[in-house]
Amino acid sequence: MKQWTVTYREKSGLKTSVVIEAEDRAGVFAELKQRGINAISITEGAVKAKRNAARSSSREGVSVSRSVWGIIATAVVVAIGVVVWLAISKDDTQIVTVEKREKKKKDKDPAPIEKVLPVEEQKDPRQIEIEKKRARLREELAKMTPEEKRDFAMQVIKDRELDLTPTTNKPFRTTTELHLARIFTTEVGERPPPPIPKIPISDIAHLEQILTTGNPIIEGDSEKIQEGKQMVELAKAELREYIKEGGDPESFIDFYYSKLVSAYQERQSYFKEVIKVGAEEPEIVGEFYRQVNESLEKKGIKKLVFPEHVKAKLGLED
């Protein structure tokens, strides 16, 4: 074990040192933390200077003791002089002593301290009650299983009223309607929207109300928004039937989203095939292009549309 000299400051403000045995600095810090010491400096090895200082001070103590008798004699002479002086000015001394006592008493009397209420007493009573309820709720939730927590959350959300009032800046009032709009307003074959996240628990709790409450067209809705609302209402009707047959909204959305992705990938592959045929067999590219679009149309997928300069290069006609 190594020795480490730690210098720190006591509560009185005086610097002091202590020697600690530890393998490394981490061990020193652990020991200091246990003792509650905030170190000013840490030096490896015990400081010998302090021991030498202690021996030196002990030798000085011996020399000091030799002059004690001289100091005592001087003190006796001074004491005699003080007694004589007190005897002469006894009355004056008593007056001064009384005044000093009175002054000392006043100095010792503490100034009136304003009563500081605990933080809890300073809060609004209603806020205190709310915090207590939250604390009790946290305790109850900590004891629940994940399934019990979900059921509890569903019940709490169901008890809250759902506002389905349409506004111009929020045409689709819930996340469920917004998910359906993103899927069913995308033309099959076009690039699909970003991956659709799960329906939030707030919508699951009010799903029946969301699917049965119409989303009316209001003043200020653009043609695109109006068309989107109509598509969403058709999708909601289909989703209601799907749920009656034992399905769930998540699988319904996943199914239609995957169809969008597949159709987009198929259409993109045909783009590449037409360009490849045009480069290798330009005499048949026109017929191949026509057959591809007929196949896509039968599947309900948007037909291939090339820019004019590409069509001219490949010799394609609509």
Q: What is the pLDDT of residues 78-88, one digit of tens each?
A: 566 555 455 55
Q: Which of 103-107, 189-193, 223-227, 299-303 has the lowest mean pLDDT?
A: 103-107
Higher pLDDT, 134 or 90: 134
Q: Which of 148-162, 256-270, 290-304 has the lowest mean pLDDT?
A: 148-162
Torsion of CA 247, 248, 250, 251, to 10 degrees: -10
For the chain, the domains span 2-52, 125-158, 175-262, 266-314
- pTM, whole model, 2 decimals? 0.53
**3 phi and psi angles, rounded to 5 deg:** -105, 140
Please name the residue that has the structure tokens 């002091």: 16
CA angle 288, 293, 298 (to 5 degrees): 130
Residues 6+ positions from 144 with CB-CB distance below 8 Å: 152
Contact 176, 199 (CB under 8 A): yes
Please state, as a whole number, how many other Cβ atoms lie within 10 Å of the Cβ of residue 168: 11
Handedness of CA 90, 92, 93, 95 (dihedral sign): positive
3-state DSSP percent of the chain in helix, strand and coil, to 5:
65, 10, 30
Kindly report each contact of residues 105-112 with a partner whose C-beta sits within 8 Å and lies 24 or more positions away, as own/partner: none
**Would you say domain 2-52 falls under CATH 1.10.3470?**
no
